[in-house]
Amino acid sequence: MSHKPYTTLDDVQTIITEQIPEGINIEYKGSSVLIDRDNNSICKTVSALANSTGGTFIIGIETKNFVPVRVDDGTPGPSKRDWIYQIISGGTFPVVEAVEIRELQTTTGTIYVIEVPPSPQAPHQSNDRKYYKRRGSHSEVMEHYEIEDVRNRPKRALLPLRAELHTQNILAHLRLTNGHESDPITDLRCKIEANFPHERDSLTMLSDRGLRALLPSAELHFLLGSLIEILQTPEPVIAFKFSYTFHEKTVTQSVAFHIADLNKTLIVKSPIERGLEELGKKIDKATGQIERLHRVAETLTGMVDNTGLRISQRTLRALKDQPQLFDPQEFGPDGYVIVADISDDEAHALHRIFSYFDAEQAKEQYEHIAPEIRQRFEKHFKVGF
């Protein structure tokens, strides 16, 4: 929904006529919030709009299920405009600035239209020391990661279009994203200037035709070419000049990428480098498997049965399905894992029982082991208590 100004009583009345519901950019409250001096509602809504994408807060509209029902009688008596400014100034931290408050007179009182722009000083606390954001028709408490994300807002433009240089393997892309949650970017046009040969076919639509609409949260990629080829040009630079419509206004935006900054970095990898990296991963995996097999072999060759005789691997295989019980004190945790097919944690817990406790304590500790683990263990090991 586009954010439109409400400058007259007739503008406000269209909200009722057109049944415009509360949303991410607009909220309504009855005049009772001023009559009852409900400072919390005012500060919560203003800070949430400032922390999000801005919008309009109208005091003087009754709602039902977030849909406007009627323009109420307004706030009687003297102007509350300065008082509202004082509430916002004293109840938002840091102060939400650039707020505009309009008074609209009815036959019985005053309606207040509060315009709140998106704030470069966000995030703002409300007077209850919480941070709020707009989600649909609600003002919700922000998560910690959302607070940190908004805190970075001064470092980037508050424009919906984000243009970034994206790399994947050895390919370079222009990535365009509409960062707005609900409104599209329309009639997007782009002029491109570069001092190196690039993939013109991919950028033809963007430079010649443009985009009719880039939907909210949408992301598009346009191939620039191979980084290895692009970096053959000393100090390659590509610049994009965008023009588009957003919230019924024409916006211009430009960005330049100095691709030489990627030279000799891990982002740029030749096919040979990628092949060697994959080979190294496979060698590391095979080495780990060989080490594990070696540990298993050492455990198996050290096995003894309950007579004290060492069991060979051939004999072990022959006795695999026989009721042959092993002495648990002759094994380490690795042996328990292999023979009883239990986890490392379970094996270490059992090893402590048979290694560090006397018979009475061991029996007590053993009873704390899960029954299914004890059953699996006793199928292969002799438990003498």
In this predicted model, what pLDDT tens digit does every residue of 12-29 receive, in sequence order?
999 999 999 998 889 999
- If we measure between CA atoms, which residue out of 183, 152, 161 comes closest to residue 53? 183
- Tell me what pLDDT residue 2 has: 40
Q: Are 305 and 326 in contact (CB under 8 A)?
A: yes
Same domain? For 226 and 179 the reply is yes
Same domain? For 14 and 119 the reply is yes
CA distance 6 to 115: 9
Count up the domains in the chain and report the number: 3
Residue by residue, DSSP assigns 47-68 as: HHHHHTT-EEEEESEEEETTEE
Task: Please tell me the number of Cα atoms within 13 Å of 120 on its side-chain side.
Answer: 7
- Tell me what pLDDT residue 133 has: 92
Same domain? For 171 and 138 the reply is no
Same domain? For 147 and 73 the reply is yes
Task: Please tell me the number of Cα atoms within 13 Å of 267 on its side-chain side.
Answer: 16
Tell me the average pLDDT across 79-107.
Answer: 91
Would you say residue 359 lies in a domain?
yes
| Whole-Å CA distances, 367 to 336, 356, 373, 384, 385 | 17, 16, 11, 13, 11
- Tell me what pLDDT residue 385 has: 78
Phi, psi for residue 50 in degrees, rounded to 5: -65, -35
For the entire predicted model, the pTM comes to 0.43
Higher pLDDT, 180 or 371: 371
- Tell me what pLDDT residue 309 has: 44
pLDDT digits (tens, 9 = 90+) for 344-355: 889 889 988 888
Would you say residue 281 lies in a domain?
no
Work out the percent of the chain whose per-residue pLDDT is above 90: 32
Tell me which of 214, 246, 262 is where a domain ends.
262
pLDDT digits (tens, 9 = 90+) for 280-319: 777 777 777 677 666 666 655 555 444 444 455 445 555 4
Tell me the average pLDDT across 106-133.
Answer: 91
Would you say residue 284 lies in a domain?
no
Compute the mean pLDDT over every residue in the chain, rounded to the nearest whole number.
82
Residue 336 pLDDT exceeds 60: yes
Tell me which of 154, 186, 219 is where a domain ends.
154
Residue 201 pLDDT exceeds 90: no
Would you say residue 295 lies in a domain?
no
Residue 268 pLDDT exceeds 60: no
- Tell me what pLDDT residue 156 has: 47
Task: For CA atoms 230, 232, 237, 243, give the dihedral sign.
Answer: negative
| Whole-Å CA distances, 8 to 13, 18, 19, 85, 111 | 9, 16, 17, 20, 10
Helical spans, DSSP H, in the chain: 9-17, 32-35, 39-51, 81-91, 144-151, 200-204, 227-230, 271-301, 313-318, 333-340, 344-356, 359-366, 371-378
Would you say residue 283 lies in a domain?
no
Q: Which of 105-119, 127-141, 283-297 has the lowest mean pLDDT?
A: 283-297
Same domain? For 146 and 111 the reply is yes
The CATH number given to whatever domain includes residue 247 is 2.60.40.1230
pLDDT digits (tens, 9 = 90+) for 41-76: 999 999 999 998 888 999 999 999 889 999 999 999
Would you say residue 280 lies in a domain?
no
Tell me which of 206, 240, 262 is where a domain ends.
262
Higher pLDDT, 138 or 67: 67
- How far out from the chain centre does Cα 290 lie? 39
Domain that holds residue 91: 9-154
- Tell me what pLDDT residue 333 has: 82
Same domain? For 247 and 172 the reply is yes
Same domain? For 149 and 41 the reply is yes
CA distance 329 to 308: 11
The radius of gyration computed from the CA coordinates of the chain, to the nearest angstrom, equals: 35
pLDDT digits (tens, 9 = 90+) for 228-245: 888 888 889 898 889 899
Residue 125 pLDDT exceeds 90: yes
Would you say residue 370 lies in a domain?
yes
